[in-house]
């Protein structure tokens, strides 16, 4: 008997449940066979420019040889070991390296597997910190239009809406500050503190960009104001840098725009260069000290099976080693190209709010505020895909967030496709 050829599309239709996908509407997904640099190649050999870094993870480029080699070598040496009671060189080296490069004071590194868990850990550390100190501070403060992930704690601090509605009555309550793009968020926190100062455990923010909430870029001055105010009242500040970390907004971390150090910082997405799932939560020594004790009840009882996975740590170290002058130049090239494109796009009839921060370009298409389910996004996505460009608008918000190896030619093709689509609207 000869083996049946494998029908990928048929088996996918039959067995796979894809993320953020309405299978009742979605067509067959595109099967990708391999990737290199800024390009994905489908099973027919067609090249697709990955203008969104495959959901914001790919950092230097797909299949970057230095990272691939580091992973292969680590996999042959030590692929995994329990991280409680045991340790290993890539895990310790990475913690030291993150502590060295992060904003001052973030000296302790707790590993997990993804962005949502990095946020869960930060929120749990913040709440237990006050518990361990014997103070009743239980309230977490978050921003309107925030997105912090899809697990329950992360959903609780994220904006409520389409994504969270089915679970609304199972999410813990948080206090909301208004969207910092349109409102004085520092004044709002001041008012909240005046009412409930002694109850507030922590404020969590996505520094500089509310990303999944629509690439909403907010002022560094407001971020600095939040830091000043939280510090003055002993309130913890959690910076969710899951998207903004590792150079996406220009500097290595978005907190650097405001020259601030948070008490906790969440990292994931680009941390391994986009090769393997991984997360890290960085904390100050002051937080760590509140858990260190002879009393077992003060332990942080949290840990994932793959915490500190050596392969992920090796990938992250290899990715960090690529952050030299060349990487900075590439990020600058992307930012300059984005800035030129933003002024060109802003002149088009159906474009509004064109904005750039580092390697991120965003704008709104057509009538504003039609939400995540707006039809214009999917239409542009299809139009761009037909031209070999991967875009995935967030409702009416179109953005480019390319890997750092993207060339000016790659970007120009994407800008041109967007302009062509927009003019035909
Ligand atoms: C994507 C994202 C998360 C969630 O990360 P996952 O790895 O998808 O769980 C959390 N915070 C921010 C700011 C993000 O952009």
What confidence score (pLDDT) does residue 421 get?
Answer: 95
Residue ranges of the chain that CATH labels 3.90.1150.10:
8-63+324-424
Please pick, among 39, 269, 399, 415, the residue that the annotation labels catalytic.
Answer: 269
In this structure, which residue's CA is closest to atom 6 in ligand 1?
A: 115
What confidence score (pLDDT) does residue 1 get?
Answer: 55
Residue ranges of the chain that CATH labels 3.40.640.10:
67-321
Distance of CA 44 from the midpoint of ligand 1 (Å)? 31
What confidence score (pLDDT) does residue 371 get?
Answer: 62
What confidence score (pLDDT) does residue 373 get?
Answer: 63
Catalytic (active site) residue 39 = no
**C-alpha to C-alpha distance for 244 and 56, rounded to whole angstroms:** 9
Strands (E), 157-304: 175-177, 200-205, 209-210, 216-217, 236-240, 264-267, 279-284
Distance of CA 323 from the midpoint of ligand 1 (Å)? 22
Q: Along the 425 residues of the chain, how does pLDDT read in single tens digits?
A: 567 789 999 999 999 999 999 999 999 999 999 999 999 999 999 999 999 999 999 999 999 999 999 999 999 999 999 999 999 999 999 999 999 999 999 999 999 999 999 999 999 999 999 999 999 999 999 999 999 999 999 999 999 999 999 999 999 999 999 999 999 999 999 999 999 989 999 999 999 999 999 999 999 999 999 999 999 999 999 999 999 999 999 999 999 999 999 999 999 999 999 999 999 999 999 999 999 999 999 999 999 999 999 999 999 999 999 999 999 999 999 999 999 999 999 999 899 999 999 999 999 998 555 566 678 899 999 999 999 999 999 999 999 999 999 999 999 999 999 999 998 88
What confidence score (pLDDT) does residue 370 get?
Answer: 57
> Do 234 and 263 meet the contact criterion of CB atoms below 8 Å apart?
no
What confidence score (pLDDT) does residue 327 get?
Answer: 97
Radius of gyration over alpha carbons of the chain, in Å?
22
What confidence score (pLDDT) does residue 367 get?
Answer: 59
Catalytic (active site) residue 404 = no
The correct answer on CATH 3.40.630.10 for the domain covering 8-63+324-424 is no
SS3 assignment, position 304: coil
Label the pairing between strands 47-50 and 389-390: parallel
Cβ < 6 Å from ligand 1: which residues? 114-116, 119, 147-149, 206, 211-212, 240, 242-243, 268
Catalytic (active site) residue 124 = no
Distance of CA 423 from the midpoint of ligand 1 (Å)? 33
In this structure, which residue's CA is closest to atom 8 in ligand 1?
A: 115
C-beta neighbour count of 237 within 10 angstroms: 25
Catalytic (active site) residue 41 = no
Distance of CA 154 from the midpoint of ligand 1 (Å)? 9
Q: From the alpha carbon of 55, which atom of ligand 1 is closest?
A: 1
**Of 168, 207, 200, the residue nearest 185 (C-alpha):** 207
Q: From the alpha carbon of 212, which atom of ligand 1 is closest?
A: 15
What confidence score (pLDDT) does residue 2 get?
Answer: 64
Q: What does DSSP assign to residue 37?
A: B
What confidence score (pLDDT) does residue 292 get?
Answer: 97
Q: From the alpha carbon of 149, which atom of ligand 1 is closest?
A: 4
Q: What is the pTM of this model?
A: 0.97
The correct answer on CATH 3.40.640.10 for the domain covering 67-321 is yes
């Amino acid at each position: 008997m000869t083996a049946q050829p494998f029908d990928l599309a048929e088996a996918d239709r039959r067995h796979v449940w894809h993320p953020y996908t309405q299978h009742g509407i979605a067509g067959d997904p595109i099967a990708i066979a391999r990737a290199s640099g800024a390009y994905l190649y489908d099973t027919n050999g067609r090249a697709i420019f990955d203008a969104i870094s495959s959901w914001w993870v790919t950092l230097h480029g797909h299949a970057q040889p230095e990272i691939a080699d580091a992973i292969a070598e680590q996999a042959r040496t030590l692929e995994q070991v329990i991280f409680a009671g045991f340790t290993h060189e890539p895990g310790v080296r990475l913690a030291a390296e993150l502590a060295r490069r992060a904003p001052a004071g973030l000296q302790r590194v707790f590993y997990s597997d993804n962005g949502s868990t990095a946020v869960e850990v930060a929120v749990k550390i913040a709440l237990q910190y006050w518990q361990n100190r014997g103070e009743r501070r239980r309230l977490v403060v978050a921003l309107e239009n925030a997105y912090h992930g899809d697990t329950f704690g992360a959903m609780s601090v994220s904006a409520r809406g389409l994504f969270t509605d089915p679970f609304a009555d199972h999410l813990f309550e948080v206090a909301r500050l208004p969207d910092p793009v349109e409102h004085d968020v520092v004044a709002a926190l001041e008012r909240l503190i005046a009412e409930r100062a002694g109850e507030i455990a922590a404020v969590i923010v996505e520094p500089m960009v509310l990303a999944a909430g629509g690439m909403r870029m907010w002022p560094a001055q407001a971020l600095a104001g939040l830091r000043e105010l939280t510090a003055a009242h002993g309130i913890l500040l959690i910076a969710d840098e899951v998207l903004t970390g590792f150079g996406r907004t220009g500097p290595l971390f978005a907190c650097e725009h405001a020259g601030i150090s948070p008490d906790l910082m969440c990292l994931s997405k680009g941390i391994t260069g986009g090769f393997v799932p991984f997360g890290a939560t960085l904390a100050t020594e002051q937080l760590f000290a509140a858990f260190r004790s002879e009393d077992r009840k003060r332990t942080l009882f949290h840990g994932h099976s793959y915490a500190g996975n050596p392969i992920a740590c090796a990938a992250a170290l290899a990715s960090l080693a690529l952050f030299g002058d060349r990487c900075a130049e590439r990020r600058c090239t992307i930012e300059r190209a984005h800035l030129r494109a933003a002024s060109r796009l802003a002149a088009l009839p159906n474009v509004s709010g064109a904005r750039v921060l580092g390697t991120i370009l965003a704008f709104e298409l057509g009538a504003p505020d039609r939400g995540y389910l707006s039809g214009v996004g999917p239409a542009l996505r299809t139009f761009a895909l037909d031209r070999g460009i991967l875009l995935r608008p967030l409702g009416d918000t179109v953005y480019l967030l390319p890997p750092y190896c993207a060339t000016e030619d790659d970007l120009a093709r994407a800008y041109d496709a967007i302009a062509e689509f927009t003019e035909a609207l």
